[in-house]
Amino acid sequence: MESKRQIKSALISVYHKDNLENIVRKLNKSGIQIYSTGGTQNFINSIGIESISVESLTGYPSILGGRVKTLHPKIFGGILGRRDCEKDKEELSDYIIPEIDLVITDLYPFEKTVESNASADEIIEKIDIGGISLIRAAAKNYNDVVIISSIEQYGLLEEIIDNGAITTIEQRRMLASMAFNVSSSYDAAIFNYFNRDGLINAFKRDFTKVNELRYGENPHQKGYFYGDLDKMFDKLNGKELSYNNLIDIDAAINLINDFEEPTIAIIKHNNACGIASGDNIVKVWEKALAGDPISAFGGIIICNNNIDIDVANEINKIFFEILIAPNYTLEAIDLLKQKKNRIILKQKTNNSDKVQFRSALNGVLLQEIDLKKEISEDLKVVTRVTPNAREIEDLLFANKLVKHTKSNAIILVKDKQMIGSGMGQTSRVDALKQAINKAKAFKFTLEGAVMASDAFFPFADCVEIAHEVGIECVIHPGGSIRDEDSINYCNDNAMKMVITGFRHFKH
């Protein structure tokens, strides 16, 4: 079987006319017969090149407001007819169906129409029928037909035409693979639009933009990112982002999203090693760094406030890998760019997805993102003594932070500054001891501090240990059958405890 095929005829039916002129001129110059549909034919005619209309080939006009143009046996027979099958060839001859060797098409902009907040009727009309059918038919018959399914493939097509308009089976198979990638992505987008209420229990996500990373978590592992970072950030400076960078950046953004007041956090291995809030952003930075200046080395810094030269001067004094902020002054950028590998990101949008997923056991785990953010009205005081206004602020600050800290997690806070953290421990007591030790190591006074736990206390031991070092207020979800043990201890020792009713595990 001859694997090479000569392109002698082409069907062009495209929504986007960008960069089409050069393709059409090359096809015409090569003597390739062109068939085209309404708007595409008008474009081809406008550049002085003739083509045969699909309407004259099928004997039918475009009908139903353009919903039906190419859906006809004389089109699909010409695409699907097998060149090495005698019966197919006889039928094509009997029904006067011309062979179509090349199909150039694209799809209506369904996703962009959805993103534009268009009406339901407008969105439905952007569900492509003819285009997707042309793509599938031509890709199915890749043994004989070349399919160009998006404008990104025009460069490859130009090379093919320049080389005599002859293709190999390998080229056609590759283009068919690209075509089915286009069609599957399109179908996934349409399904997710219709299934936005989650009534159909199916998981379909499509990420067509891929970045090959230097490596995965470790140098011996390959790593890739599927997604569009350009929608999230403007990269103003620095080297390429790594696999671990991206995971830390995701953790940083999810954390900072829960804070409205000017806040700076320093992230290391998915956890905050320092974070503070306040009105003066320079002082906020100083307090965030003081939380753990050792771990801050080489960390990721994120701020929900613009970075000016004053705070840039202070941040510039330490080694960090990445800085993320909504904006920067020109003076600040000039200073921060002095180290060429330092990554500076201007954040354009927040994470907008409402679900998160990860691979596990040859399948996918999916859950809603934990968007619960407790406010003062959510807090249930369960002790005789009630926290004052300052303590409530610190309790809510600590509760936001513990939500974004690896379980088991304990966070110690004083004056909207994290002064101690214990995370990723197999025992909540160990997490608390770790947090206390860190606070003491950096010379923090625990008198008057508050403690947050990501889950309930099964015993009174944690509040006992906290009380011994001067902690007066505790926040946790509650829900243990032995909650009363902790509550009674607090009442006996004039401590204050509030319960949220919401657990915030982060495994």
Residues 56-94 as b/e (b if ≥16 CB within 10 A, e otherwise) read ebbeeebeeeeeebbebebbbbbbbbebeeeebeeebee
DSSP H helical ranges for 387-496: 389-403, 428-441, 461-468, 483-492
DSSP H helical ranges for 81-144: 86-94, 110-115, 120-125, 130-140
Residues in the chain: 507
Q: In terms of DSSP bridges, do strands 52-53 and 33-36 run parallel, antiparallel, or are they unpaired? A: parallel
Contact (Cβ atoms closer than 8 angstroms) between residue 146 and residue 7: yes
What sign results for the dihedral spanned by CA atoms 119, 122, 125, 126? negative
Pick left, alpha or beta for residue 366 (phi over 0 → left; psi -120 to 50 → alpha; otherwise beta).
beta
**Closest by CA position to 232, among listed 338, 333, 353, 404:** 353
Q: Which parts of 96-232 are beta strand (E)?
A: 102-105, 146-148, 166-167, 210-212, 224-226
Contact (Cβ atoms closer than 8 angstroms) between residue 225 and residue 211: yes
CA–CA dist 483, 497 (Å, integer): 11
Tell me, yes or no, if 222 is annotated catalytic.
no
What does the radius of gyration of the chain's CA atoms come to, in whole angstroms?
31
| CA 109 to the chain's CA centroid | 20
For residue 157, with 0-12 CB atoms within 10 Å meaning exposed, 13-18 middle and 19 or more buried, which class applies? buried
Q: Which residues share a beta bridge with 237?
A: 344
Q: Which of 17, 26, 89, 269 does the annotation list as catalytic? A: 269
Tell me, yes or no, if 269 is annotated catalytic.
yes
Amino acid symbol at 458: P
Q: Which of 17, 140, 373, 440 does the annotation list as catalytic? A: 140
* Strands of 450-453's sheet in order across: 380-381, 496-499, 473-476, 450-453, 410-413, 418-422
Amino acid symbol at 58: T
* The two three-digit tokens of residue 95, written as one number: 């029904």
CA–CA dist 41, 286 (Å, integer): 65
**Closest by CA position to 409, among listed 394, 391, 429:** 429
Q: What CA–CA distances, in Å, run from 254 to 176, 236, 247, 266, 352?
A: 39, 21, 11, 13, 10
- Write down the number of H helices and E strands in the chain: 19, 23
Active site residues: 140, 269
